[in-house]
Amino acid sequence: MACAYAIEAYAGLGVDLRVVVEEAFDEVDRIDRLMSHYKADSPLSRLNREAARHAVVVDKELFDFIERSLRYTEESGGTFDITVGPLMKAWGFFRGDNRVPDAAELTRVRRRVGAHHVILNRGAQTIAFDTDGVELDLGGIAKGYAVDRVVELLRARHVTAALISAGGSSVYGLGSPPGRDAWSVKIQDPVDATKVALSVDLKDASLSVAGSAEKWFAAGGVMYTHIMDPRTGEPVQGMLSVAVVTPSATAGDAFDDAFFVLGTAASARYLRRLRNVDVWFFLPAPSRTWRVIHKHAGLG
């Protein structure tokens, strides 16, 4: 998942936190082995290699997770899409060999992108692709899923409070630390990494951040970010970062990408269908480095 996980945890007497935290990191490693598209021997990599030739039987956890991810694609109008793998490679974000594909290549690649290419058979627990070149990339959501799994494990081991961070972009505050009402988590300035844009309080809630500064390159005077609009096949322009607070880190990881692609106006329409979601949009501003817009989805 290309990031470092960190856990700060508190528990009462009788809980060996060293053992519990090591168990939590083992769970992160297990999910990475299951869902990594960088590891050639992972079940996801095998699926990507074989699913265009024949239906592939997959682990129930992976099947359920892909099915859930595709539901986020449908609900977001295709703005969050795990089939962006070919686009990430075409733009050079997969291995870091950044490049701008020409129009003909982009047209070819876009034919391989879209949730409609993925055929799920729940009864047989198989996944197939309807054309060559389709590739699933779970990098935009697996970090949050691993965080949620760690939270479940810590709760089961009677950990009373914890802050779980996946590279700072997916963070969950379990309970609250001693003497405080919640975990205070800082959101990085989208322009100056040495500064803090704002802080949010997390108690049994997650923070997910999608930012253009995480991976990007410049060509021809244009900045290209790693966050793709799956509908156009091109990197999103005009957005610096998006921060989302939700009860689930998995959902937050899907939402932050979708909101980043949708922009403020279209995101407001999406938010009307959601519950318990706070989102901050950081946009370029001519008179200063950035401006922020906050939107909220209540209890429905």
118-121 and 126-129: which strand pairing?
antiparallel
Looking at residue 290, its pLDDT comes to: 83
Separation CA 59–CA 57 (nearest Å): 7
Reading the block at residue 29, the tokens are: 């490693």
Q: Can you give the pTM of this predicted structure? A: 0.93
Token pair, residue 238, equals: 């005009």
Comparing 97 with 281, the larger pLDDT belongs to 281
pLDDT digits (tens, 9 = 90+) for 143-172: 999 999 999 999 999 999 999 999 999 999
pLDDT (mean) for 133-150: 94
Domains of the chain: 43-72+83-129 (1.10.3980.10), 173-297 (3.10.520.10)
The pLDDT tens digits of the residues spanning 190-212 come to 988 899 999 999 999 999 999 87
The DSSP code for 189 is P
- pLDDT > 90 in the chain, percent: 80
pLDDT digits (tens, 9 = 90+) for 6-45: 999 999 999 999 999 999 999 999 999 999 988 999 999 9
- Residue 214 reports pLDDT greater than 80: no
Q: How far is CA 183 from the centre of its chain?
A: 21
Above 60 in pLDDT, residue 299? Answer: no
pLDDT value, residue 1: 66
287 pLDDT band (50/70/90 cuts)? low
pLDDT of residue 300: 42
More confident of the two residues 289 and 248: 248
pLDDT for res 115: 95
Residue 288 confidence class, pLDDT cut points 50, 70, 90: low
Distance CA 196, CA 194 (A): 7
Mean pLDDT across 53-70:
97
- 69-90 pLDDT per residue, tens: 999 999 999 999 999 999 999 9
Reported confidence tier of residue 3, pLDDT bands at 50, 70, 90: confident
Q: What is the reported pLDDT for 73?
A: 95
Q: Name the average pLDDT for the chain.
A: 93
41-54 tens-digit pLDDT: 999 999 999 999 99
- Provide CB contacts within 8 A for 41, sequence distance 6+: none
The C-alpha atoms of residue 230 and residue 155 are separated, in whole angstroms, by 36
Residue 16, amino acid: D
